[in-house]
Amino acid sequence: MIKRLLVISLILVNFSCNDEDDRFETLTKLRTIGVSSTPVFPKASTLELEQVVTLDFYATVPLGSDVNVDPYTDPSWSGVTPVTLTFADAAEPYKDYAKLRRFAGKATFTVPKKEELFFNPKTGYAKIVYGIKLTSGEEVEKVIGSILVYKDDAGELANYKDTPLSVSITTPEKAATGDTDLTAATGNVAGGEGIKIGWFVSTGKVVNRRAKTTTWKDAEKGQQTIIVTGRGVKSGAFSMDIRDVTIN
């Protein structure tokens, strides 16, 4: 099955079928969780100094599964500047939790020079795009991301420069019974932007996966895994937290 994920300013949108038997938040197969960039807002490169951006991208797969990574170019790209990614191994490519495996990948690219970019006079930034294809068995996900490049005097360049965005699971802590309250906390939200929350669970369903406080229903008993993500609505700054809990 091929799924195409569109990341506009690093916001994920899923174009695959999403019914009660294949809920987006229920992690039973390959699923892209998010992409973070360092820095969040890069400058354009110059003849004297190249500006390099590092991408850390995350997905989940069933326990025992592997993920292959390839570059991807979308034929619909227009009015933006694509970049070429160089892939590298993450420090911890795989980490196993109770009900799933977390995959981490890493890539870098060089920001084009100012004269190679189109700075929108209305927004003050230029948009560069990249593509990543993740494959696990017969499952394929294509991730398209965009990053905003500001001019040297823009105030946005200071956002998340020293302290990254953070998100964490507040409840549940270790165990829960029946319908379970899910609560997330966010920290260091720069520039007054909104933060988009996303919940993922190994079984059951989340009543409102975009709410900081919501309810997890129909989870199977035993050890389960939950993930919360936070993303800056404008910046695309990304953070996530993963936890195993026991459902009694």
Cis peptide before 164 (omega within 30 of 0): no
Whole-number pLDDT of residue 188: 86
Which of 118, 135, 152 is the last residue before a domain boundary?
152
What pLDDT is recorded for position 13?
A: 36
Which of 123, 152, 181 delimits the end of a domain? 152
Q: What percent of the chain has pLDDT over 70?
A: 91
Q: How many domains are contained in the chain?
A: 2
168-196 per-residue burial string, b: 16 or more CB within 10 A, e: under 16: ebeebeeebeeebebebebeebbeebebb
The pLDDT score that the predictor gives to residue 21 is 46
Q: Are residues 128 and 207 in the same domain?
A: no
pLDDT < 50: residue spans in the chain = 1-21
Token duo for residue 236: 């695309």
Mean pLDDT of all residues in the chain?
89
Q: Tens digits of per-residue pLDDT, 167-191?
A: 999 999 999 998 999 999 998 888 8
Q: In the listed set 101, 122, 152, which residue is the last one of a domain according to the structure?
A: 152
- The reply to whether 133 and 235 lie within a common domain is no
pLDDT per residue over 129-142, tens digit each? 999 999 999 999 99
pLDDT of residue 183: 98
Say whether both 108 and 201 belong to one domain. Answer: no
* Structure-token match 């165990």, residue found: 175
pTM of the model as a whole: 0.89
Tokens read off for 98: 């109770």
Residue type, 102: R
Indicate if 101 and 186 belong to the same structural domain: no
| Cα 35 from Cα 141, distance rounded (Å) | 13
Domain holding 204: CATH number? 2.60.40.10
Say if residue 100 is in the same domain as residue 136.
yes
| Per-residue pLDDT, 20 | 43
Residues 7 and 61 in one domain: yes
Residues 169 and 137 in one domain: no
Range of the domain at 225: 161-248
Instruction: Copy the structure tokens of residue 121.
Output: 């006079």
pLDDT at 80: 78
Tell me: do 91 and 166 sit in the same domain: no
3-state secondary structure of 105: strand
- Give, rounded to a whole angstrom, the gap between the first and last alpha carbons of the chain: 34
pLDDT the model gives residue 17: 36
Same domain? 104 vs 19: yes
Residues 182 and 80 in one domain: no
Task: State the CATH number of the domain containing residue 36.
Answer: 2.60.40
The pLDDT, as a whole number, for residue 22 is 59
Contact (CB, 8 A) for 35 and 7: yes
Give the CA distances from residue 189 to residues 26, 179, 184, 201, 239, in Å, rounded to whole numbers and listed in that order: 27, 30, 14, 25, 11
pLDDT at 2: 43
Q: Identify whether residues 178 and 77 lie together within a single domain.
A: no
Which of 31, 57, 97 lies closest to 242, judged by CA? 97
Residue 168 shares a structural domain with residue 146: no
